[in-house]
Amino acid sequence: MKLSVQLAPQNEHGLPLANPVMTASGTFGYGTEYSHLFDIQRLGAIVCKGTTLEPWDGNAQPRIIETDNGLLNSIGLQNIGVRALIKEKAPIWAKWRVPVIGNIAGETGDDYARLASVLDGVAGVSALEVNISCPNVKAGGAEFGANAESAARVTAAVRRSTSLPVLVKLTPNTSDIAEVAIAVAKAGADAISLINTLKGMAIDIDKRQPLLGNVTGGLSGPAIKPVALAMVYEVAGAVDLPVVGCGGITNASDAIEFIMAGASAVQVGTASFVNPRASLDILEGIEKFMAEEGIEDIAELVGAARR
């Protein structure tokens, strides 16, 4: 049975994955937090928490709220900063068989370019995922991903600054996600991942105030799956690049839906908070489905439901 996928066929280094199941940024720390819980090396890839040039403390508390079938978060890119990542985390990743993808975010296009250039050639970092889709930071984040022109500008700046494979992560908080995807593809992305969280909020009616310290946050989890699936279907039909599907994937059949919609790989996010082993359970479920259906190569399933 062939599960391997190539997420950057046009890149000089390529981004070969042993299988299509990845973890989603911000929901699996730096991978190290989970390595004692199960064999994380069996996963296709690990995407680390969003990294900025300087360490960030993130937004005011409270920053996480459970909703019906979902999670609202306004963490705001709390992270250790790129220098600590290179010094403390990358040497650990360099010893792993599973590729680790660095997720980067900035306040200006120049921030993204600098992050891409300092991470270029760092042992242990196999690719970059450019987060132009965080709804929880004032400057940057989703503002870049909300329109085609600024999304392309950030993508081009990153492309010029690294030879690493570049995945660009799109926001659903835009009027035409296919237009953004096409612009990002033209600007030099190797693959596109989607979706980040949907902007949302919740109110405490007794206190008459928003529940999140940041007022609004990003909605994730099963509640967003149908939205994510439709967007993956749309983007996979609009660009020729590999697409990585993400949003509410909780079990193997969710993952297979995204693959049948046209995703070459999937990312598991919020589900890891409920079941830390969710990503591996999903991989094993895909293998079981393929065995039962007599499918030799995962490629046979990619886009199988497209019409």
Ligand X SMILES: Cc1cc2nc3c(=O)[nH]c(=O)nc-3n(C[C@H](O)[C@H](O)[C@H](O)COP(=O)(O)O)c2cc1C
Least Cβ distance, residue 269 to ligand X (angstroms): 2
Contact 35, 25 (CB under 8 A): no
The β-bridge partners of 66 are 71
- Of 213 and 300, which has the nearer Cβ to ligand X? 213
Contacting positions for ligand X (CB under 6 A): 24-27, 49-50, 71, 73, 75, 77, 103, 131, 134, 169, 196-197, 220-221, 224, 246-249, 268-271
* Alpha helices for 130-274 (secondary structure H): 142-145, 148-161, 177-186, 225-238, 252-261, 271-274
The pair phi, psi for residue 239, each rounded to 5°, is: -125, 160
- Of 130 and 183, which has the nearer Cβ to ligand X? 130
DSSP notation for 253-295:
HHHHHHHHHT-SEEEE-THHHH-TTHHHHHHHHHHHHHHHHT-
Residue 90 in 3-state DSSP?
A: helix
Least Cβ distance, residue 272 to ligand X (angstroms): 8
Least Cβ distance, residue 220 to ligand X (angstroms): 3
Question: Measured at CB, which residue is nearest to ligand X?
Answer: 26
The β-bridge partners of 6 are 16
- Of 61 and 293, which has the nearer Cβ to ligand X? 61
Q: Is 248 exposed, middle or buried (0-12, 13-18, 19+ CB in 10 A)?
A: buried
134 has catalytic annotation:
yes
Q: Among residues 46, 113, 134, 168, which one is catalytic?
A: 134
- Of 33 and 299, which has the nearer Cβ to ligand X? 33
Least Cβ distance, residue 219 to ligand X (angstroms): 8
Q: Which residues are catalytic?
A: 134
